[in-house]
C-alpha cells in the first residue's frame, strides 16, 4: 500500500460543526488533528445558550448527525439541554475529546512557509490545514441604548444567562423579539411577577406544536434503528420541501406558509390593540421565521406587556420609552442577537504575503462555495459566508462542508496536492451568480434582519440546500490554484516534530 503523507489538521471550535469535522476525520481513519476550544466543554452555541425555553426549532429527528441518530429525543423539537448532552455524547463516543485542547483560544493563524502557524497562550504551532468551525452566531450583540450600563439590577445577554438570579419574583424587561426572545417569552409569560417585552419590530410566528415523544416510541426507535433513519429522511425532506424552498422560490408554497402565519395571528390574538402591536409590516419569512407554539398564548398572560414605543434610555430603575414612561424593572435581558459577520474573528487570519481576512473581506465576507477563501490556502470554513443557514438544520450543512474539506485533505495525504486556494475568478463568479439569484428570495422583500450584509443583500445561500450539497460533493480542482506535490513526498509519522512548535 502506498505510504500516505501525514497531514496535520487544526480545527477551531468544538461546537456542532467542529465535532462534525473531527468525526469526519475519525471516520476516514485520520487522527492527525487537533481541536482548539476556548471554553472548557464542547457544544458551542448549545453550551453557551441556556436561557429558559431554549429549544431548537428544527425537528429533533432532523437535528442530528446523519451518522449518529438519537432515539432518545424527548420532544418533536429538541430542548437545548438535550442537544448539548447529545454533542457531549458524540465527543465521548467518537474519542474526539482526546484531540481537544480545552481552554485554549487561538488568537491568530498565519500562513507562512507553506503551513498555518497558530498562536495560542502556549506559543506557535504549525498545521497543514486550517478548518474554522467557530460558529455563526457566537458574539453577543448588545444594543446601543443610552444609560445601558446604569441599570441597578442584574442585566445580561440571552446567551449569557445568569442562573443565580431567581425569576418568579422579578419584574423582567426583555429587549428583542427574534427567535430567542419569543422562546423566552413563551416560557416565562405568566410565570414571573412581570414581563415587559420591548419590541422594536413585530415578528410573524409560524405555529409549531411540540409534542412529547412517548417512552414506547423511544423504545421502538431503539429496537428498530431503521426507524431513526426514516425519521431523519422524512423530517429533513419535509423541512427542506416547505421552508427551505419557500424562502428561495416564489410561488404557492410561499403563499401558503405566509397565510398560515397571518391566520395564526388572527386566530390567536383577538384583542385588536394587542394584535395591531404584533402585526408586522413586512412579509412572513422575510426575517428568520419564528417557529413557536406558545408565543401568542404567553403574551396574553397576566403580567405580560408588549411595549412598542421606542426605548429612549435606560436608567437605574428601568427603561424609559420615547413617550417619557418609566417601566420599573428588577432584571434586564438583552435578546438582541449576535454579530453575524464575526465568523472566526476576532481571531486574526493572515494569508501568504500578509493579506488579512479583514482586508480580503473589506466589502463583506465572501467565500467560494461557502467553504474556501481566495488568497488563503488550505483554509476551510464550516458555516462560512453564504452557507444555507436560516430556517434549516445546520447539521447536514456542516456534514457537506466537512466532507468537502476531507476531500482536499485526502488529496494532500495521497501526496498529490500540497496546497490549494480557490481562485479569485472562481470566487467572484460564484458570488456573482448568487447575487443574481437573490431577487427571487423572500429575504430581499423589505425587512431588516441579520441576514443582510453591508450591500443590503442577504449573506445566505439563494438556492435550495440540496444544491449546496451537490456543489460540495463535486470539487472542481480547476477552480483552484494548486501547488502539486512531487511524486514521492516523504511519509511523516508520530506527533508534530520539534520544528512544528515555537514557544
Residues 464, 248 contacting (CB under 8 angstroms) = yes
What whole-number distance in Å separates Cα of residue 430 and Cα of residue 441?
Answer: 17
Number of residues that bind ligand NAP (CB under 6 A): 27
Rounded alpha-carbon distances, angstroms, from residue 489 to 51, 253, 411, 477, 492: 51, 54, 12, 20, 9
Residues 111, 19 contacting (CB under 8 angstroms) = no
Q: Which residue number, 178 or 384, has a Cβ lying nearer to ligand NAP?
A: 178
Q: Which residue number, 15 or 181, has a Cβ lying nearer to ligand NAP?
A: 181
Q: Which residue number, 113 or 149, has a Cβ lying nearer to ligand NAP?
A: 149
Site for ligand NAP in 445-474 (CB under 6 A): 448, 450
Q: How near is the Cβ of 248 to ligand NAP at its closest, in Å?
A: 16
- Among 336, 387, 401, 421, interactor with ligand NAP by CB under 6 A: 336
Q: How near is the Cβ of 362 to ligand NAP at its closest, in Å?
A: 24
- Among 78, 236, 337, 465, interactor with ligand NAP by CB under 6 A: 337
Q: Which residue number, 117 or 450, has a Cβ lying nearer to ligand NAP?
A: 450
Concatenated DSSP letters of 119-173: EETTEEEEESEEEE---SS-SB-----TTGGG-SS-EEEGGG--TTS--TT-EEE
Q: How near is the Cβ of 6 to ligand NAP at its closest, in Å?
A: 38
The residues facing 10 across adjacent strands are 34, 130
Q: How near is the Cβ of 401 to ligand NAP at its closest, in Å?
A: 17
Q: How near is the Cβ of 44 to ligand NAP at its closest, in Å?
A: 12
Q: 214 is written with which cell numbers?
A: 412517548
Site for ligand NAP in 174-213 (CB under 6 A): 175-181, 183, 198, 200-201
User: How many of the other CB atoms lie within 10 Å of CB of 279?
Assistant: 13
Q: Which residue number, 183 or 441, has a Cβ lying nearer to ligand NAP?
A: 183
Whose cell is 474554522? That residue is 132
Q: Which residue number, 189 or 351, has a Cβ lying nearer to ligand NAP?
A: 189
Q: Which residue number, 137 or 418, has a Cβ lying nearer to ligand NAP?
A: 137
- Among 79, 143, 194, 303, interactor with ligand NAP by CB under 6 A: 143
Residues present in the chain in total:
503
Name the H helices within 189-225: 215-223
* Order of strands across the sheet that contains 326-328: 311-315, 318-321, 326-328
Task: Please report which helix (H) or strand (E) contains residue 275, including its range.
Answer: helix 272-278
Site for ligand NAP in 409-448 (CB under 6 A): 448
Percentages helix, strand, coil for the chain (3-state, rounded to 5) are: 35, 20, 45
Q: Which residue number, 244 or 360, has a Cβ lying nearer to ligand NAP?
A: 244
Q: 291 is written with which cell numbers?
A: 417557529
Site for ligand NAP in 34-73 (CB under 6 A): 55-58
- Among 138, 245, 288, 366, interactor with ligand NAP by CB under 6 A: 288
- Summarize as ranges the residues that interact with ligand NAP (CB under 6 A): 55-58, 137, 143, 145, 158, 175-181, 183, 198, 200-201, 288, 311, 335-338, 448, 450
Amino acid at each position: 500500500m502506498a505510504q500516505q503523507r501525514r497531514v496535520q489538521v487544526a480545527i477551531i471550535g468544538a461546537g456542532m460543526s467542529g465535532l462534525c469535522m473531527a468525526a469526519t476525520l475519525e471516520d476516514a481513519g485520520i487522527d492527525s488533528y487537533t481541536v482548539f476550544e476556548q471554553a472548557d466543554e464542547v457544544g458551542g452555541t448549545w453550551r453557551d445558550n441556556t436561557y429558559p425555553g431554549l429549544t431548537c426549532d428544527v425537528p429533533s429527528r432532523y437535528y442530528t448527525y446523519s451518522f449518529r441518530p438519537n432515539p432518545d429525543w424527548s420532544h418533536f423539537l429538541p430542548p437545548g439541554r438535550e442537544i448539548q448532552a447529545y454533542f457531549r455524547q458524540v465527543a465521548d463516543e467518537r474519542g474526539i475529546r482526546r484531540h481537544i485542547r480545552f481552554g485554549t483560544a487561538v488568537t491568530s493563524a498565519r500562513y507562512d512557509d507553506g503551513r498555518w502557524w497558530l498562536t495560542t497562550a502556549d506559543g506557535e504551532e504549525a498545521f497543514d490545514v486550517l478548518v474554522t468551525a467557530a460558529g455563526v452566531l457566537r458574539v453577543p450583540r448588545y444594543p446601543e441604548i443610552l444609560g445601558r450600563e446604569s441599570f441597578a439590577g442584574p442585566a445580561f445577554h440571552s446567551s449569557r444567562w445568569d442562573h443565580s438570579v431567581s425569576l418568579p419574583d422579578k419584574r423582567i424587561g426583555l429587549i428583542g423579539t427574534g427567535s430567542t426572545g419569543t422562546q423566552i417569552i413563551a416560557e416565562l409569560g405568566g410565570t414571573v411577577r412581570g414581563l415587559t417585552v420591548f419590541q422594536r419590530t413585530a415578528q410573524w410566528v409560524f405555529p409549531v406544536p411540540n409534542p412529547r415523544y412517548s417512552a414506547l416510541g423511544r423504545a421502538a426507535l431503539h429496537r428498530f434503528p431503521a426507524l431513526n433513519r426514516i425519521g431523519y429522511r422524512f423530517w429533513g425532506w419535509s423541512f427542506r420541501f416547505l421552508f427551505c424552498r419557500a424562502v428561495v422560490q416564489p410561488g404557492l408554497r410561499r403563499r401558503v406558509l405566509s397565510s398560515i402565519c397571518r391566520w395564526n395571528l388572527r386566530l390567536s390574538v383577538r384583542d385588536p390593540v394587542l394584535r395591531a402591536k404584533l402585526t408586522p409590516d413586512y412579509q412572513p419569512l422575510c426575517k428568520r421565521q419564528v417557529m413557536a407554539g406558545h408565543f401568542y398564548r404567553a403574551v396574553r398572560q397576566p403580567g405580560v406587556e408588549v411595549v412598542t414605543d421606542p426605548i429612549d434610555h435606560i436608567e437605574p430603575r428601568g427603561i424609559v420609552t420615547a413617550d417619557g414612561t418609566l417601566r420599573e424593572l428588577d432584571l434586564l435581558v438583552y435578546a438582541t442577537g449576535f454579530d453575524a459577520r464575526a465568523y472566526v474573528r476576532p481571531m486574526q487570519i493572515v494569508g501568504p504575503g500578509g493579506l488579512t481576512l479583514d482586508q480580503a473581506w473589506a466589502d463583506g465576507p465572501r467565500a467560494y462555495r461557502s467553504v474556501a477563501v481566495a488568497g488563503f490556502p488550505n483554509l476551510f470554513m464550516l458555516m462560512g459566508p453564504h452557507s444555507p443557514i436560516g430556517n434549516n438544520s445546520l447539521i447536514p450543512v456542516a456534514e457537506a462542508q466537512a466532507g468537502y474539506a476531507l476531500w482536499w485533505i485526502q488529496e494532500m495525504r495521497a501526496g498529490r496536492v500540497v496546497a490549494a486556494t480557490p481562485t479569485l475568478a472562481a470566487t467572484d463568479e460564484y458570488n456573482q451568480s448568487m447575487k443574481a439569484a437573490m431577487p427571487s428570495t423572500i429575504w430581499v422583500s423589505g425587512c431588516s434582519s441579520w441576514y443582510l450584509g453591508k450591500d443590503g443583500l442577504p449573506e445566505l445561500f439563494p438556492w435550495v440546500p440540496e444544491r449546496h450539497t451537490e456543489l460540495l460533493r463535486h470539487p472542481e480542482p480547476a477552480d483552484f490554484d494548486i501547488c502539486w506535490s512531487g511524486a514521492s513526498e516523504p511519509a511523516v509519522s508520530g506527533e508534530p516534530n520539534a520544528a512544528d512548535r515555537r514557544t
